[in-house]
Amino acid sequence: MTVLNQRVPFVIESSGRGDREMDIFSRLLKDRIVFLTGGIDDEHANLIIAQMLFLSNEDPKADVHLYINSPGGSVSAGLAIYDTMQYLRCDVATYCIGMAASMGAVIFCGGTKGKRYVLPNSRVLLHQPLLGGIMEGSATDLAIESEEIIRLRKLLYDILSIRSGQPYDKVQKDCDRNKWLSAREAIEYGLGDSILERMPKTG
């Protein structure tokens, strides 16, 4: 199950061996559907990664379907998900449902090219990586942290540039301020491949 701290409905699945109760997200996992919802942190990322690894090992020729509705979150946790998507032997189809913001946008565009879908009324947000908390410490430590922030920002812009096909300088300029993209604009930018109005067949 990938949705945290929520009341999750259960479903009954019938088979020749009788009825079995399972939560809805476990049932969808059987169809190779994984959900990334809410803020991205280490715990959430670990659950997503574990499910994707399981599905890739189970059938490396079948797609994983990653549905994203996220305001973003931890850069390191988001990059762990992104890197795992590139590492898997199977393709990862991504679906923006509602919103893919900040690190959510990076993960969304990291899906297999040709299989990055945006639902009609969804949005994508690009912006600079945000720094949480207050930086404290010696001048040397603050300088090190500042250099790391700049390095991470360049890394994220590189990913967005490569995955969208946009020049690095354009991505950098667009991320200077919040840049909201509609479904159509996200496709035109190159972050996604098509607007999806009907659910495709899984597998």
Which positions are catalytic? 102, 127
Q: If 0-12 CB within 10 Å is exposed, 13-18 middle and 19+ buried, where does residue 166 land?
A: middle
Cα gap 22→26, rounded to integer Å: 6
Cα gap 155→110, rounded to integer Å: 13
List all residues 6 or more positions away from 158 whose beta carbon is below 8 Å from its beta carbon.
Answer: 168
Q: What angle do CA 187, 123, 156 make, to 5 degrees?
A: 75
